[in-house]
Amino acid sequence: GWTKEAILYVNGLRKVLPDGLAHLTLLEYLRDIGLTGTKLGCGEGGCGACTVMVSRYDKKSKKCVHCAVNACLAPLYSLEGMHVITVEGVGNRKHGLHPIQESLVRSHGSQCGFCTPGFIMSMYSLLRSSQTPPTEEQIEESLAGNLCRCTGYRPIVDAFRVFAKTNDALYTNMSSMSLKEGEFVCPSTGKPCSCGMKNVSNADTCEKSVACGKTYEPVSYSEIDGSTYTEKELIFPPELLLR
C-alpha cells in the first residue's frame, strides 16, 4: 500500500518519526535526541518550563501559524508535519544570542535559569506570530503559563517590555535606520549603539541601557512566514508547505 513517511522538523532539521513511539511526549523525544534546553518541571502543563514553538502551515489562510506549546503535554505523533523550534534553535553563546535572550540576560531575568528557556520560547512565539509589535498586555498574557521561583517576574517583564508596541522607537529604528559599521540597535533604547556585544568583555560599558545588545537586521517581511522577525530566524521548512 501507499505510505507517507511520518516526519517533523526540529530546529530546521528533518526528522523521520519511526513507528513505536506513540508513548512519547514531545518533551521526552526532544530530550532523548539531546535537546536538553527544554526542561521538565511539573510534567502536567502547569509551569511552562517545557515550552517550545510549534509552526504549521495553514492551508486555508496560506500562512504559517506559530504557537507556544507545552511539550510535556503534546504526544510526539501529534507534531507530524510540523516544525518545532526549541531554545537551541533561537540562539546561543557560540553563534550569538537572540535579542530576546540578550535582553533577559541584561535585565537579570534569569537566576537559577530553569524557567528561562520556557520564558524565551513563549516570548519568541509571541513575536513570531505577531504581524505588528505586541502590546505590553499581550506580552504579559503570553507569559501567563510560565512560572519562575526566583526572580519575582519584574526583571523578566522588564526585559520583554522593550519589544512592546509602546516602544515605538525600536520598531521605527529597526525598519528604517541605517547603522554605521559596528553599530547595533539597542533593544532597550532603540538607539544605535556600538557597545560591541561581539566582544562580551565590553558589555558592562553599556550599563545604562539595560538591554543593550546584539543587532537586529532591518526586518524583512516574509509573505509566507508572516512574522515580525524573519531575518536570521529559522524559516518554515519548504517541504512542509507541500504536504
List residues near ligand FES by CB under 6 A: 40-43, 45-50, 70, 72, 110-115, 148-151
Q: Closest distance between ligand FES and the C-beta of residue 235, in Å?
A: 27
C-beta closer to ligand FES: residue 155 or 187: 155
Q: Which residue has the cell 526586518?
A: 219
Q: Closest distance between ligand FES and the C-beta of residue 106, in Å?
A: 15
Say if residue 212 is exposed, middle or buried (CB neighbours under 10 Å; 0-12, 13-18, 19+).
Answer: buried
Q: Which residue has the cell 534569569?
A: 110
Dihedral pair phi/psi, residue 59, rounded to 5°: -65, -35
Q: Closest distance between ligand FES and the C-beta of residue 156, in Å?
A: 8
Q: Closest distance between ligand FES and the C-beta of residue 115, in Å?
A: 3
C-beta closer to ligand FES: residue 70 or 103: 70
C-beta closer to ligand FES: residue 69 or 174: 69
C-beta closer to ligand FES: residue 70 or 230: 70
Alpha-carbon distances, residue 176 vs 170, 194, 217 (angstroms): 10, 18, 10
Closest CA to 50 of 30, 72, 32: 72
Q: Which residue has the cell 517581511?
A: 221
